[in-house]
Structure 1
Amino acid sequence: MSTRQDLSTGSKWEPIIGYCRAVKIGNSIFVSGTTGTDPATGQVAKGDVYAQAKQALANITAALAKLGATHNDIVRTRIYLVDVKRDWEQASKAHGELFTTSRPATSLVGVAALIDDDMLVEIEADVVLSA
């Protein structure tokens, strides 16, 4: 039987909503929707979807490192954008810069809003670790 490992970042939202940044079970890791919040400042790059997407991916990569994985182990991402028509190219650029050789299956979805009006993008990731 696989052991479950929960990774918390200490975000103020985790206990309120009842989630953790990532869950590892066996060779699978599931990363919660991650925004471009800078962990050092608690702020997002207001109005800059590219910078927010880069930070969200950096936050995901940092979480994976704590669970023994890298971005190359990601098999699926989901990118949620508040204004998909305006921002898809900049968010996609940030995504494409990270995934140059190991490209995950990806969805790009427009949403009505995120939890904070300054947040423009949220990204989820699924990982399968090689045996």
Structure 2
Amino acid sequence: MKNRAIISTPDAPEAIGPYSQAVKVGNTVWLSGQIPLVPATMEIVEGDISAQAEQVFRNLAAVAEAAGGDLNKAVKLNISLTDMNDFAAVNEVMARFLEQPYPARACVQVAALPRGVAIEVEAILAL
């Protein structure tokens, strides 16, 4: 595919598997799921679900910027939580990173996430 570009930035965690941080095709960018890893150390951020969610959205924002956009260009977010009781706290954090109108979104509870974290978020941007 000629118009396919791999997006990578040191301001977000390196991929911990065989995938890219994001792939851009035309004006659409698919951001891989981010977990609350601190890019400089590749360690999980310390703190509660709010601290984890904040790190996740910082990571997503860094990848979005590397792709030539920002999180306000998101048209869809997929959020995975290991505990749906964290839903309200994650909403509060998300609202600090995005402006209205908000993108479409799904939020599901899952049995487990990589490295035992409580949250993972992926996004699709339209630039």
Query: How many matched pairs?
Result: 124
Structure 1 residues 65 and 12 mapped into 2: Cα distance closer, same or farther (>3 Å)? Answer: closer
Structure 1 residues 42 and 68 mapped into 2: Cα distance closer, same or farther (>3 Å)? Answer: same
Query: After TM superposition, where is structure 1 displaced by more than 3 Å over at least 4 residues in a row?
Result: none
Q: Distance in 1 between matches of 2:45 and 2:38?
A: 8
- The RMSD of aligned alpha carbons is 1.7
- Please report how far the alpha carbon of residue 20 of structure 1 lies from its aligned counterpart in structure 2 after TM superposition: 0.6
Q: Distance in 2 between matches of 1:6 and 1:102?
A: 28
Q: Distance in 2 between matches of 1:23 and 1:12?
A: 13
Which AA in structure 2 matches 1:68? G
What is residue 25 of structure 1 aligned with on the other side? 25
What is residue 79 of structure 1 aligned with on the other side? 79
| Contact residue 34 and residue 59 of structure 1 kept, 8 A | yes
Could you state the TM-score of these two structures normalised by the residue count of structure 1? 0.86
Identity %: 33
Confirm whether residue 41 of structure 1 aligns to residue 44 of structure 2: no
1:109-120 pair list within 5 angstroms: 109-117=108-116, 119-120=117-118
Q: Which segments of 5 or more consecutive residues in structure 2 lack a partner in the other structure? A: none
Q: Distance in 2 between matches of 1:51 and 1:106?
A: 21
Which AA in structure 2 matches 1:11? E
Which AA in structure 2 matches 1:37? L
Could you state the TM-score of these two structures normalised by the residue count of structure 2? 0.88
- Please report how far the alpha carbon of residue 11 of structure 1 lies from its aligned counterpart in structure 2 after TM superposition: 2.1
Q: Distance in 2 between matches of 1:100 and 1:71?
A: 9
Structure 1 residues 100 and 12 mapped into 2: Cα distance closer, same or farther (>3 Å)? Answer: closer
- Please report how far the alpha carbon of residue 42 of structure 1 lies from its aligned counterpart in structure 2 after TM superposition: 1.7
Q: Distance in 2 between matches of 1:115 and 1:76?
A: 22
